[in-house]
Amino acid sequence: MLVAVLERYPEVGERIAANLGARALRVKCKTFPDGELYVRVPEDVKGEEVLVVSTTFPNQSDSIIELLLLADALRRTGASELIGAIPYLAYARQDKVFLQGEPVSAEVVLDILLERFSKLIVVDYHSPGLLAKREGRAFNVLISDILVRASLKYLSDPIVIAPDKGALERAKFAAERLGLQFDYMIKERDRVTGEIRHYPKELDVGGRDVVLIDDIISTGGTIADAAKILLGQGARKVVVAASHGLMLGEALNRIKGAGAHKVILANTLAAKVGDPLVEYVDISERLSSEIANIVGGRR
Ligand code: R5P
């Protein structure tokens, strides 16, 4: 197997190649003055199974086009099979028609890539059900246990909490692996007063440490609100953790303002926040072993 490493996201690709004992093939990419993209595979890959490692943030749309161009170039230079390992696959949150007339963007992106890649491996995908619908071709790699484990040095016997029911599986996966309690927060509107209450469904956070875990931090609103509420309900410390820290605009300040003790993010993106509050964890090892299982037919 060859591992095609893109300039936008070299670190994880290089580590995966080393872990798999495969050769890394550095792909040349550039942008023309008019904004169009160009890629070039530097050598013949005749008969090779090629694993392409890239990510799709920032510049989501460009990075998807880049993957399509690269897949075409690899096929033309003789690759026998293409597998994509894309830790952050963008457009996942438009995963259904919310308002009539909308597309299901997540399916558009998945299917356009699956026309060119025989398998796609994605980290903590927002809508795992859409991957499950493409069973045997699209795979989700969970990493919430790695994020929660990294938080343990700051916390004592924490509860793992998801900010909403949608993130519950993530919290459960980590908590069960690490022997911790878990819960999710529910939002309830009092039908008489109209007041909104937001609280953990089962567990009392009073005096407890909490890891608040989500898939994506975008504007930071969801996780900052949840952190503030938990601290307001008596939690001792709250560490915020997410697989994909887009951290747009005021996200970090919002999270700081909410009183979070630390922000733990995975290195799934081609962008990092440099701030003492933020710590990154490496997903290469987990991704490498999952890739080995998938390629070896054990998943
Ligand atoms: C939503 O369903 C996602 O799981 C995240 O909770 C959401 O995307 C976070 O967005 P923001 O940081 O803008 O609140």
Tens-level pLDDT at each residue, the chain (299 residues): 999 999 999 999 999 999 999 999 999 899 999 999 999 999 999 999 999 999 999 999 999 999 999 999 999 999 999 999 999 999 999 999 999 999 999 999 999 999 999 999 999 999 999 999 999 999 999 999 999 999 999 999 999 999 999 999 999 999 999 999 999 999 877 788 887 778 888 889 999 999 999 999 999 999 999 999 999 999 999 999 999 999 999 999 999 999 999 999 999 999 999 999 999 999 999 999 999 999 998 88
Tokens coding 121: 């491996």
Question: What pLDDT score was predicted for residue 199?
Answer: 85
SS3 content of the chain, % helix, strand, coil (to 5): 30, 30, 40
Question: Which of 217, 239, 219, 221 minimizes the C-alpha distance to 230?
Answer: 239
Identify the DSSP state of 131: H
> Distance from the CA of 34 to the center of ligand 1, in angstroms?
33
Q: Where do we find the tokens 């503030």? A: 228
Report helix, strand or coil for 158: coil
Question: What pLDDT score was predicted for residue 74?
Answer: 98
Question: Which of 87, 210, 180 minimizes the C-alpha distance to 139?
Answer: 87
> Distance from the CA of 231 to the center of ligand 1, in angstroms?
20
Question: What pLDDT score was predicted for residue 169?
Answer: 95
pTM (two decimals): 0.96
Identify whether 256 is a catalytic site residue: no
Measured over the CA atoms of residue 1, residue 130, residue 11 and residue 5, the dihedral's sign is positive
CB neighbour list of residue 155: distance below 8 Å, 6 or more residues apart: 209, 210, 211, 237, 239, 261
Task: Give the distance between the most distant pair of CA atoms in the chain.
Answer: 69
| Closest-lying ligand 1 atom to the alpha carbon of residue 215 | 4
Q: Which of 217, 219, 229, 246 to mutate to test the pocket of ligand 1 (most atoms within 8 A of CB)?
A: 217
Catalytic residue among 96, 172, 187, 256: 187
Ligand 1 first shell, C-beta below 6 A:
93, 166-167, 214-222
Contact 279, 287 (CB under 8 A): no
Q: What residues form DSSP beta bridges with 198?
A: 187
Phi, psi of 76 (to 5 degrees): -65, -25
**Sheet-wide strand order for 181-189:** 196-200, 181-189, 159-162, 209-217, 237-245, 262-266, 278-281
Question: What pLDDT score was predicted for residue 190?
Answer: 79
> Distance from the CA of 217 to the center of ligand 1, in angstroms?
6
Question: What pLDDT score was predicted for residue 256?
Answer: 98
